[in-house]
Structure 1
């Protein structure tokens, strides 16, 4: 906020310099001096008199604030609702391949299901390019050389998930893991993609007939509200990540396991992860 006020004062100086008289009793020179004084005061005292006190008040208010995390029952309702709507959308597209509304529903349900499983930031998944997704396809054979050293559980996971690495916060690579059903629905969406997209839209989760992506948080909020959960406000991407961070603390993960888990987030270290779980 202090930076914004400083920018406003600088713009006001430019406005003053273009005029000789601001008001009947205030000259441009006087107004310029006052604005420069304001900028100097902001630079010298803002962090001590405003910023530090505001940060302290915000932290104090968090101490006794109830933390909302998604209920397991609500997440189950959301998942079942997404699967049901995706099936209906696929059936409608089979009958009419130019049904734009059903195609958007199919694309949005895929997006929400990946968010629900991976707890990704919406922007990271929202900007996943079609080129990156297609290049990651058909690489199952790369895992054959590890078949003798991985556990049976890991073999099952390799068959159930497709791994796509996308650019995350601060340029770090973050993995996205679509399950088999989501992967199949994505292939169906790509099959009908040419009916709704032009070549200029480079995003997997793009908005039909445009070059932009779908609305990230609005999409998740729309389907979260429509499934009839007990606590709608708790189903957001931020609270989903907080929910996962809380689980890592409940499981008493070791530092190494926590570091590996944090690397999947592609953004922060264990300290931030622990902070997420207690705020």
Structure 2
């Protein structure tokens, strides 16, 4: 209960975090049910957090996460990792309670239990769970979203006529359709994380900056860039880990948004719901992932499963490699995406299968012709014919000019 109270104190003010709190409580509860099955003497989490019961905690964690000793793999490795974090957090809470109450016995036991977690939990649980997660990613299909699929989804979203229907007759069905389609359009256009766009607050939208941009900066821009500054509206929302991230809205997005906000009272939306894309029946927001999945399935896309916010963000990062952006341009993109440049280069700019097959294979095959043939040339300048290429031995039978 103290663990749940601590989580609620930290993020209970955000209703969107309530399911997360419930999830963490259920994880610890499942773990403790397994502990009680293995030992009749341990009844509470506090009784478990003593050095004598560390092996019991390891065993219970393995069983609740379906650990296979023969393959050294977990069926649910993420659960094993989460239990480790929650168990250490519970120990820290218990340590704080013992310090405040002057209970030196509990203090000593919990401190020693934390030392065991720091020294032995990784060997017995964490390293094996991480190894399971890494192996699951090997040879997994990892293609980026096709541009034509994005265009197909955008075209389908624009066909929805709920905006005019809602103006003429405010009703819940049309309000929901307009909210879902507009949310999808914002995620698609900005390549925003779906959770960030879904939590757009009504106060943030209403207090958006409508002042014209700085004229000194505008003069240094191209004619197209100056036009875009006047056409688009920028607002800032809360992103991952509390970071400030921007969202750009076109004029085609502002009008439907105003229609949505103007119809809230007419459809009976509760006043205490702070979200722009609110759920009519509850004081929470519409999930962007559900909206994308719903409309991707009916828009005629070749690969509807790839039309999710994560893949859309990765599409932008991968295309940056093709465009070869300058460092300052890459910095601006990374800030807009909501992460620093190091994360962008190490994680979001991972080489796709197509890039590796095309670029790296060209280099490897070229090396078999000898260094003198390609001396002083870049990968773009290297050209040869694949006719007659022996793929088994990787030997080119023709000359580079042939």
Alignment TM class, shorter chain as reference: 0.7 to 0.9
**So what's the TM-score if we normalise by structure 2?**
0.58
Structure 1 partner of 2:190: 118
The correspondence for 2:226, drawn from 146, 155, 158, is 155
Report the more deviating stretch, 151-160 or 37-46. Answer: 37-46
The correspondence for 1:244, drawn from 297, 311, 316, is 316
Structure with more contact order per residue of length (Cα contacts < 8 Å, sep ≥ 6): 1
Structure 2 partner of 1:48: 123
Question: Which digits, 9 at most, give the CA deviation of each residue in 1:47-87, with x for residues without a partner?
Answer: 224432443454355343221221122111100110111xx
* CA RMSD of superposed structures (Å): 3.0
Q: Give yes or no for the alignment of 1:198 onto 2:270.
A: yes
Instruction: In structure 1, list runs of 5 or more residues that go unmatched.
Output: 20-28
Q: Report how many aligned residue pairs link the two structures.
A: 261
Moved over 6 A (4+): none
Structure 1 partner of 2:250: 179
TM-aligned CA deviation for residue 156 of structure 1: 1.3
Instruction: In structure 2, list runs of 5 or more residues that go unmatched.
Output: 1-26, 62-116, 353-402
Residue 250 and residue 49 in structure 1: after superposition, are their counterparts in 2 closer, same or farther (change >3 A)? farther
The correspondence for 1:38, drawn from 48, 53, 56, is 56
For 2:204 and 2:28, the matched residues in 1 are separated by: 41
TM-aligned CA deviation for residue 180 of structure 1: 1.4
SS in 1 for 2:265: helix
Question: Which digits, 9 at most, give the CA deviation of each residue in 1:157-202, with x for residues without a partner?
Answer: 1122110101111211100001111112112222222213222111
Q: Give yes or no for the alignment of 1:65 onto 2:140.
A: yes
User: 8 Å contact 1:262–1:273 — kept in the other structure?
Assistant: no
Q: Give yes or no for the alignment of 1:93 onto 2:116.
A: no
User: 8 Å contact 1:9–1:39 — kept in the other structure?
Assistant: no
TM-aligned CA deviation for residue 36 of structure 1: 3.9
User: 8 Å contact 2:279–2:285 — kept in the other structure?
Assistant: yes
User: 8 Å contact 2:334–2:344 — kept in the other structure?
Assistant: no
For 1:119 and 1:73, the matched residues in 2 are separated by: 16
| Higher relative helix content | 1
For 1:75 and 1:218, the matched residues in 2 are separated by: 16
Q: Over alpha carbons, which structure has the higher Rg?
A: 2
